[in-house]
Amino acid sequence: MTDASPIDLPYDALLLLSFGGPEGPDDVMPFLENVTRGRGIPRERLEAVAEHYLHFGGRSPINDQNKELLAQLRVELDARGLAGLPLLWGNRNWEPYVTDVLREAHEAGARRVLTVFTSAYSSYSSCRQYREDLGKALQALAEEGRSLEVDKIRHYFNHPAFTDVNAQAVAAALEELPEPARAGARVVFVTHSVPDAMNDVSGPPAAGGGAYVRQHLDVAAEVARRAGERAGRELAWDLVYCSRSGPPTQPWLEPDVNDHLRELHAAGVPGVVVAPIGFVSDHMEVKFDLDTEAAETAEEIGLPFARAATVGAHAQFVAGLVDLVEERAAEARGGSPARPATGALGASHTVCPVDCCRNLRAQVPAATGEDYRAPAVARG
Ligand SMILES: CC1=C(CCC(=O)O)c2cc3nc(cc4[nH]c(cc5[nH]c(cc1n2)c(C)c5CCC(=O)O)c(CCC(=O)O)c4C)C(CCC(=O)O)=C3C
Ligand SMILES: [Fe+2]
């Protein structure tokens, strides 16, 4: 904004855009109402999820994890000569709200902001909804006479930093299993379930949909391969789901992690590493659905269980994010930087194409997309 950074980025600030979470018991219901407004989630499910938060003192772990990620991003940016680049944090569903953060940035002089989402994959919930909330923020600011341009880094599910740090975590979790469970242990990759219909329209329409599952399968295969290299043997794996929340009549991605652990046990699998590749840090889904519920299932059936760490604020992951910031900046300047990616899918698009991860309920302008038109700015 005022300090020019020694490396010339075409951006005035970097924004970490996240989900947000409650800070105490009184925040829990208002937070859940923010998250589920207009989403048709049954009341019973909301009450059950409120209990999960209250079980942890009404506080989501996500905010502290984001603060840690911000601290590490700051260290990495400074080390690369980007000490002058302001680093901001805003959320979709709780304070600090993204609209307020962008307003402050605008007041401080920012006009072009690069965003990093705390979500690695394509789907309405994991990408487009963030883009729509950015769109709503830009609309609100335009009505105040403030104009801002916003870009995002590409999806990082298959960036080598993400897959490699996950592979290290799987290899480390394997070591935690007691012998003889370790030798025949299976890797159970877990992500957030979404409605089948949401997966069906995920990703660029030209790719035929299904990107959410396809991307997770690609990451799982690559992480298992890399972890297997570290462990010195091939690792068998599956992809399963947690945190289903819609009405029972609506099909969501399955199997559920708990059902799957029972099946593996019945089939004679001697132990499992549960690897939450769908989450970038130990969110409530990880703390409750995996560390509490799935761990209890495993205990009940006598299945040795180790949970692999999420990438969190791991230095190698953070360096990968800053690589992606530099890559996006180079593209914004019209260059053609290297775009490293692991697995079979290739590097993801930089700018989401028209109807990418379509919203099945409404047409809402989604920022950072090919078809996004900045709202008209009111004259102050
Ligand atoms: C794909 C996906 C991610 C991963 C991508 C990403 O990270 O963004 C994610 C992340 C998160 N989801 C979170 C919390 C919640 N998600 C809910 C509801 C839903 N999530 C969905 C999908 C996803 N969600 C969906 C399809 C619904 C149904 C309602 C709807 O169609 O929108 C509900 C309502 C209650 C319930 O139904 O469970 C809550 C409270 C938190 C915060 C956790 C914390 O506090 O640590 C985080 C990081
Ligand atoms: Fe969610």
The model's confidence at residue 380, banded by pLDDT at 50, 70 and 90, is low
Cβ-count burial 311-335 (b if 16+ within 10 Å, e if not): bbbbeebbbbbbbbbbbbbbbbeee
Tell which atom from ligand 1 comes closest to the C-alpha of 126.
Answer: 5
What are the tens digits of pLDDT across the range 173-182?
999 999 999 9
Asked if residue 319 is part of any domain, the answer here is yes
Q: Is ligand 1 within 6 A of the CB of residue 32?
A: yes
Q: Kindly identify the ligand whose nearest atom is closest to the C-alpha of 193.
A: 1
Domain shared by 32 and 148, yes or no: yes
Q: Is ligand 1 within 6 A of the CB of residue 194?
A: yes
User: Quick check: 301 and 260 in contact, CB under 8 A?
Assistant: no
Q: Provide mean pLDDT across the span 324-342.
A: 97
Please state, in angstroms and rounded to a whole number, the distance separating the CA atoms of residues 133 and 364: 9
Å from CA of 31 to ligand 1 middle: 12
Predicted confidence (pLDDT) at residue 1 exceeds the cutoff of 90:
no
Of 56, 194, 216, 243, the one to substitute when testing ligand 1's pocket (max ligand atoms within 8 A of C-beta) is 243
Residue 29: helix, strand or coil by DSSP?
A: helix
Please state, in angstroms and rounded to a whole number, the distance separating the CA atoms of residues 6 and 217: 40
Q: Kindly identify the ligand whose nearest atom is closest to the C-alpha of 34.
A: 1
Domain shared by 60 and 172, yes or no: no
In the chain, DSSP assigns E strands to: 13-18, 87-91, 112-117, 149-152, 186-192, 237-242, 272-275, 305-307
User: Quick check: 160 and 294 in contact, CB under 8 A?
Assistant: no
The two three-digit tokens of residue 258, written as one number: 């708990």
Asked if residue 174 is part of any domain, the answer here is yes
Domain shared by 19 and 80, yes or no: yes
Asked if residue 22 is part of any domain, the answer here is yes
Q: Which domain holds residue 321?
A: 13-156+314-332
Domain shared by 218 and 293, yes or no: yes
Asked if residue 187 is part of any domain, the answer here is yes
Number of compact structural domains in the chain: 2
Predicted confidence (pLDDT) at residue 214 exceeds the cutoff of 80:
yes
What are the tens digits of pLDDT across the range 255-264?
999 999 999 9
Q: Is ligand 1 within 6 A of the CB of residue 213?
A: no
The candidate with the shortest Cα–Cα distance to 325, out of 90, 113, 130, 157, is: 113
Residue 8, Cβ neighbours under 10 Å: how many?
8
Domain shared by 20 and 68, yes or no: yes
pLDDT at residue 6, rounded to an integer? 45
Q: Is ligand 1 within 6 A of the CB of residue 41?
A: yes
Domain shared by 181 and 109, yes or no: no
Q: Provide mean pLDDT across the span 320-335.
A: 97
Predicted confidence (pLDDT) at residue 3 exceeds the cutoff of 50:
no
The model's confidence at residue 2, banded by pLDDT at 50, 70 and 90, is very low
What are the tens digits of pLDDT across the range 130-176?
999 999 999 999 999 999 999 999 999 999 999 999 999 999 999 99
What are the tens digits of pLDDT across the range 49-71?
999 999 999 999 999 999 999 99
Asked if residue 326 is part of any domain, the answer here is yes
Q: Which residue, 274, 307, 340, sits at the end of a domain?
A: 307
Q: Kindly identify the ligand whose nearest atom is closest to the C-alpha of 281.
A: 1
CATH code of the domain covering residue 108:
3.40.50.1400
User: Quick check: 272 and 304 in contact, CB under 8 A?
Assistant: yes
Q: Provide mean pLDDT across the span 343-361.
A: 97
Domain shared by 151 and 34, yes or no: yes
Domain shared by 179 and 121, yes or no: no
Domain shared by 203 and 301, yes or no: yes
Asked if residue 212 is part of any domain, the answer here is yes
Å from CA of 243 to ligand 2 middle: 8
Domain shared by 292 and 186, yes or no: yes
Asked if residue 116 is part of any domain, the answer here is yes
Q: Is ligand 1 within 6 A of the CB of residue 125?
A: yes
The candidate with the shortest Cα–Cα distance to 327, out of 114, 69, 72, is: 114
Annotated binding site for Fe(2+): 192, 285
Asked if residue 341 is part of any domain, the answer here is no
Domain shared by 73 and 189, yes or no: no
Q: Provide mean pLDDT across the span 232-239.
A: 97
State the pTM of this model: 0.97
Predicted confidence (pLDDT) at residue 312 exceeds the cutoff of 70:
yes
Using CB atoms within 10 A of its CB, is residue 275 exposed (0-12), middle (13-18) or buried (19+)? buried
User: Quick check: 17 and 130 in contact, CB under 8 A?
Assistant: yes
Domain shared by 65 and 103, yes or no: yes
Distances (CA, A) of 111 to 3, 21, 355: 14, 28, 26
Å from CA of 32 to ligand 2 middle: 10
Predicted confidence (pLDDT) at residue 17 exceeds the cutoff of 70:
yes
What are the tens digits of pLDDT across the range 164-210?
999 999 999 999 999 999 999 999 999 999 999 999 999 999 999 99
